[in-house]
Amino acid sequence: MGFQFGLAAENQQALHVMGQTLSDVVSNAVGRKVLWEPNFKLQSADEKSGATQYSFAFVKPPNLTAALLAKGWQLVAVGKDTMHFGTDLIAQPCPNQPGKILLGGSSLSILGLSATASQTCVATDQFWNSPSAVLLAPQAGSLVDMIAQKLWQQHTRQLPKIVHVKTQNAVTGLMRDMHVAAIGVVTPVVSKQWLKDGGVLLQHQPMPMWAVLAAPCLLYTSPSPRD
């Protein structure tokens, strides 16, 4: 079990106490001995040798949690307090059609797309499968970018076209000022103002500050009576 506390542990003794306590909890839950190691990082998740292959991870930085989720790791438990952190999907309301959002059309040419999808109004619970859907996200590989893709893949296997810009403000600026009919990817701090301006919040995914994750395809077997 890999551990990454960020700056949470005050010293090595505190790190050892937290690590041993949580590994004991997991050991009792899975019915087998669980060893823990500090300084877990994203590269650690790709280690395949038997002695260092990780089955679980306990991490604090949300960006590490997001990166592991993108690799197929699964959440086992999360901290209760998300500190209002997360990823929001936003869109423009469809004129004169309550409950629907505006997608596609010639406005997408501003994003440099060679072929623009036809403009359409889609119900707020049906946009996942719309051929006119385009994700407008901040920097590629950023936390909100990875979480948005994970959210999308929970509803459909095919990701939409994704266009990346530098900042969240650029996302809302293009949608508000240039009327780009895309689905924006931002944090709650930014979406709060979007809602005040009359925009639509499609999905909110809170992001835990603390998370226990299990490696992909982790198979549990019942311990024998001698274990």
Q: So where are the chain's domains?
A: 2-82+209-214, 86-206
> Would you identify the CATH topology of the domain 86-206?
D-Maltodextrin-Binding Protein; domain 2 (3.40.190)
What mean pLDDT is reported for the chain?
Answer: 84
Cα–Cα dist 187/88, whole Å: 6
Please work out, in degrees rounded to the nearest 5, the angle formed at the alpha carbon of residue 104 by the alpha carbons of 203 and 169: 55
Buried b / exposed e along 123-149 (16+ C-beta atoms within 10 A): ebeebbebebbbbbbbeeebbbbbbbb
Cβ proximity of 3 and 19 under 8 Å: yes
Output the CA–CA distances (angstroms, integers) from residue 218 to 19, 54, 130, in the order listed.
21, 10, 34
Cα–Cα dist 52/39, whole Å: 13
Confidence of residue 116 (pLDDT cuts 50, 70, 90): low
Work out the average pLDDT over 205-213.
Answer: 80
Please work out, in degrees rounded to the nearest 5, the angle formed at the alpha carbon of residue 106 by the alpha carbons of 135 and 189: 35
The pLDDT tens digits of the residues spanning 37-73 come to 888 888 888 776 555 678 899 887 677 887 888 788 8
Question: pTM for the full model?
Answer: 0.63
Contacts of 85 (CB under 8 A, 6+ apart): 62, 187, 188, 206, 207, 209
Whether pLDDT at 126 is above 50: yes
Confidence of residue 227 (pLDDT cuts 50, 70, 90): very low
Contacts of 90 (CB under 8 A, 6+ apart): 172, 175, 183, 184, 186, 191, 194, 199, 200, 201, 202
CA atoms within 13 A on the CB side of 29: 12
User: Which residues are paired to 59 by β-bridges?
Assistant: 4, 211
Query: Which amino acid, residue 85?
Result: F
DSSP 8-state assignment for residue 183? E
